Each structure stands twice: as structure tokens, then as C-alpha cells.
Structure 1
Amino acid sequence: MGYFTSLYASELPHRAVAVYMYLRDRADKDGKCYPAIGTIARELKLSKSTVKRAIADLEKSDHLCKEPRWRENGGKSSNLYHIR
């Protein structure tokens, strides 16, 4: 079936479904993407806190793996997301 069959069958809240679809749409062929929390929130018209909760829901349900990224000067950058 489609990408979202297991997602629809899960008991994830609608915020997690929306964020998953957003990330899936922006992922490369390997299922990786790295949009900022603020960008996701702005484009989905959600708060940053809601996006963070949705990402936590997706990690807990094993639909997503989050990896921190760092700049050359040691500063934080946006996270790298691996879509499963």
C-alpha cells in the first residue's frame, strides 16, 4: 500500500500525523531531511511546542529518528530527521 498505511493505523495524535507527512514530503530518497522546528511550525501553522511534541510522539512510535547536527564553529544547527 502507500507510505501512510501504518501511520493511519497507529494511534498517533493528528499533530504527529501532520508533521510526519510534512517531513516525508521534504525527505530525500534515503528518507532524510533537516527543516528547522520554526520552519515546520510556520508552514503547518502550528506552535513550536506542538511540533516538538509531535516529533517526540513520532520518535516514541518509531516512525522517526532525530539526530542533532552541529556547525563548524560548534553551534547547534537544525536536527537531521530519518523517516522510517
Structure 2
Amino acid sequence: MAYFTSVYQSELPHRAKSVFMYLHDRADHNRKCYPAIGTIARELNLSRSTVKRALSDLEKSGYLRKEQRWRENGGKSSNLYFLNSNPQ
């Protein structure tokens, strides 16, 4: 529970808090995960647009960093998300 203290106390909208907890639940021991936006939206019963806004909120506030991943054929894949529970 202490892990989420700064998220709970933040001014983030509830959509961002929900998405952060979802990503944390799916992250590895290095706090990395790569679920697709459509998967996040479907599993949280949110629209894709709401998930995108939540990810943007998290990135702007420093709780999340994302990197684009690429397939071997050069096509885009899902983003790689790095979680930070204590942004500066």
C-alpha cells in the first residue's frame, strides 16, 4: 500500500490513478510493462481515448515514461512503460 501513497495523494484524475495501478499490477520487477492501449481499455472498461489521456497525465506528472517499441519488420508495437512511484 505504501507504494501508492504518492499516487493517492496526487492531484491526478481518477482515470490516471486507475491506469497507474493497472500498469503496476502488470509490471515486472524492474517496473516495466508493455500492454497495448486497447488491452488496457478493455480490461478497465474505459475508452481508448480515456486511456490515452490517463497515460498523458501520468507522463506529464512524472509517474510514467514510455518508449515506442518496434517489430522486426519495422512496424510499431505496443509502448514500453516504465513506472515511477515517486516523481520529482
* TM-score clears 0.5: yes
Amino acid at match of 2:8: Y
Amino acid at match of 1:26: R
Q: Distance in 2 between matches of 1:63 and 1:77?
A: 22
Q: How many residues are matched?
A: 84
Amino acid at match of 2:82: H
4+ aligned runs moved over 2 Å, structure 1: none
* TM-score with structure 2 setting the length: 0.94
* TM-score with structure 1 setting the length: 0.98
CA RMSD of aligned residues (A): 0.8
Instruction: Calculate percent identity across the aligned residue pairs.
Output: 75
> Offset of 1:2 from its aligned partner?
1.0
Alignment gaps of 5+ in structure 1 = none
Aligned residue for 1:59?
Answer: 59
Mapping of 1:65-84 within 5 angstroms? 65-84=65-84
